């Protein structure tokens, strides 16, 4: 399967990848699987994929949780290094094209408005969560484990 086909399979079609990488056949070795497992567990246990009910939760904390995926991803990338190259390609693309635009926009707004991010933030978070759940499903597939993200959602 090509990298492009892999993204399409998990409904991550909006990701833009260069022609060189799009047609690249991907196969996952144990290091890729282990890195994907670590990222999968981090992802499904955060508000990044959990519903944030209108009458509870804290927008700033939710934003911080999504933002922390940068440090988490970097830690995993450093831990597995060059031996998890296929995972690295996917993780960096998702980080830069899905998570970064969201955090960049809302970080600036949070600096201006403090903790009062409001309904627009929650709506965009909900949209982001769809992509991140698809990413979680993709990670479960790479890790060769049963995807429990649907039952992990509160």
Instruction: Place 13 in a pLDDT band, splitting at 50, 70 and 90.
Output: confident
Tell me the C-alpha distance between 63 and 109, whole Å.
Answer: 11
Contact in structure between 15 and 2 (CB atoms under 8 Å) = no
**Is it the case that residue 154 has pLDDT exceeding 60?**
no
Q: What are phi and psi of 46, to 5 degrees?
A: -115, 165
Residue 56 confidence (pLDDT): 76
Tell me the C-alpha distance between 58 and 56, whole Å.
Answer: 7
Q: pLDDT tens-digit profile of 66-112?
A: 999 999 999 999 999 999 999 999 999 999 999 999 999 998 888 88
- Between 118-143 and 59-80, two packed helices, what is the crossing angle to 10 degrees? 30
Tell me the C-alpha distance between 5 and 18, whole Å.
Answer: 13
Residue 115 confidence (pLDDT): 62
Q: pLDDT tens-digit profile of 28-50?
A: 999 999 999 999 999 998 887 88
Q: How far is CA 21 from the centre of its chain?
A: 19
**Is it the case that residue 12 has pLDDT exceeding 80?**
yes
By the 10 Å C-beta count (0-12 exposed, 13-18 middle, 19+ buried), 139 is classed as buried
């Amino acid at each position: 399967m090509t990298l492009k086909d892999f993204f399409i399979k998990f409904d991550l079609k909006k990701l833009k990848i260069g022609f060189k990488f799009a047609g690249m056949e991907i196969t996952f070795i144990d290091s890729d699987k282990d890195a994907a497992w670590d990222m999968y567990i981090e992802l499904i246990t955060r508000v990044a994929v959990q519903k944030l009910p209108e009458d509870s939760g804290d927008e700033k904390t939710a934003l911080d949780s999504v933002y922390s995926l940068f440090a988490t991803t970097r830690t995993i990338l450093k831990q597995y290094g060059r031996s998890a190259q296929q995972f690295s390609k996917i993780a960096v693309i998702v980080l830069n094209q899905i998570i970064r635009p969201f955090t960049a926009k809302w970080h600036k707004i949070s600096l201006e408005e403090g903790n009062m991010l409001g309904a627009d933030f929650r709506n965009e978070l909900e949209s982001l969560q769809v992509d991140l759940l698809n990413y979680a499903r993709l990670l479960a597939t790479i890790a060769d484990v049963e995807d429990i993200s649907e039952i992990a959602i509160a």
